[in-house]
């Protein structure tokens, strides 16, 4: 009897902390006149304080496993919680394929490596300090830091506006390399685009400490999926 009561309490607690807010968080977007910047608005249409991990520095291309965090596949500079730009052919209702850059100039690669080595050294020192300060296991510290530093807090009826580069030849807006991703559009087809994000509660449970989650207890932690409005995407030369 006591075991059943405890189990029910645990289920209720999880439901209260991790809410499905896909009907209450809304994303609207449009491109600027030159189609180089995506202007994005995130709305909290609920009466709750909501928090969501969302990288506002860039978009990311579509992959079947977007938002599935796998520690051994973690790439430090990749925007794992950036909004995904989804583009599909309106006639065939088929997603545009994501390509990775395969042809890299060796001279560019050498410059990028020198730059990245310097950034990585500084970043690793920062991670060491972050792990000690927040009592985070070394194996989880990079993911923990990324999530905690990309949390958006929205009060009831609040909206947040941000702007990201829109470049289908370099979707993540990163230096040349495998983390870029790009789309090739057929100019004879009607291409439709929308933004999306999906957050699983495992991101909070696995990678945030109990102390960190307690400090966020004034907010409901967003879990679920959001899709934005759809717009026409014109191919560029």
Model confidence pLDDT, tens digit, residues 71-96: 888 888 889 999 999 999 998 888 99
Virtual torsion, Cα 21, 75, 69, 46, nearest 10 deg: -10
The verdict on residue 10 lying in a domain is no
Token code pair at residue 209: 């400490």
Q: Write down the pLDDT at residue 11.
A: 41
Q: What is the DSSP letter of 20?
A: E
Within 8 A by CB and 6+ apart from 76, the residues are 120, 123, 142
Cα angle: 170, vertex 175, 180; to 5 degrees: 40
Q: Write down the pLDDT at residue 108.
A: 65
The verdict on residue 171 lying in a domain is yes
Q: Give the C-alpha separation, 77 to 179, whole Å.
A: 8
Q: Write down the pLDDT at residue 139.
A: 94
The verdict on residue 130 lying in a domain is no
Determine the structural domain holding residue 98 and report its residue range: 24-102+142-233
Helix, strand, coil % over all residues of the chain, rounded to 5: 30, 30, 40
What are the pLDDT digits (tens) for 187-225? 889 999 999 999 999 999 999 999 999 999 999 999 999
Q: Give the C-alpha separation, 189 to 191, whole Å.
A: 6
What are the pLDDT digits (tens) for 14-42? 444 555 544 589 999 999 989 999 999 99
**146 closest CA partner among 24, 14, 55:** 55
- H helices of 18-164, in order, are 106-134, 141-148
The verdict on residue 107 lying in a domain is no
What are the pLDDT digits (tens) for 150-178? 999 999 999 999 999 999 988 998 765 55
Q: Give the pairing type, strands 18-20 and 220-227.
A: parallel
Count of residues making up the chain: 237
**Residue bearing tokens 């545009």:** 96
Is residue 126 left, alpha or beta, with left meaning phi > 0 and alpha meaning psi from -120 to 50?
Answer: alpha
Please say whether the beta carbons of 156 and 49 come within 8 A: yes
Token code pair at residue 178: 């495998």
Considering its fold, how many domains does the chain have in total?
Answer: 1
Q: What are phi and psi of 213, to 5 degrees?
A: -65, -35
Here the contacts of 11-16 (C-beta below 8 Å, separation 24 or greater) are: 14/201, 16/220
| SS3 label, residue 137 | coil
Element (H, E) at 224: strand 220-227
């Amino acid at each position: 009897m006591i075991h059943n009561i405890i189990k029910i309490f645990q289920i209720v607690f999880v439901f209260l902390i991790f809410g499905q807010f896909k009907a209450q968080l809304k994303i609207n977007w449009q491109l600027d006149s030159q189609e180089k910047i995506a202007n994005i608005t995130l709305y909290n249409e609920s009466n709750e304080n909501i928090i969501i991990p969302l990288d506002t520095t860039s978009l990311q291309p579509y992959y079947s496993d977007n938002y599935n965090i796998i520690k051994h596949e973690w790439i430090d500079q990749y925007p794992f919680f950036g909004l995904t730009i989804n583009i599909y052919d309106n006639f065939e209702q088929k997603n545009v394929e994501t390509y990775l850059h395969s042809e890299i100039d060796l001279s560019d690669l050498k410059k990028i490596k020198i730059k990245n080595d310097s950034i990585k050294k500084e970043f690793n020192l920062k991670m060491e300090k972050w792990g000690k300060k927040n009592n985070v296991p070394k194996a989880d510290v990079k993911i923990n830091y990324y999530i905690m530093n990309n949390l958006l807090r929205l009060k009831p009826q609040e909206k947040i506006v941000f702007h990201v580069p829109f470049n289908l030849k370099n979707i993540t807006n990163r230096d040349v390399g495998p983390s870029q991703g790009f789309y090739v559009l057929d100019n004879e087809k009607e291409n439709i685009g929308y933004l999306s994000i999906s957050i699983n509660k495992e991101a909070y449970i696995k990678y945030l400490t109990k102390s960190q989650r307690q400090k966020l207890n004034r907010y409901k932690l967003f879990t679920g999926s959001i899709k934005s409005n759809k717009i026409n995407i014109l191919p560029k030369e």
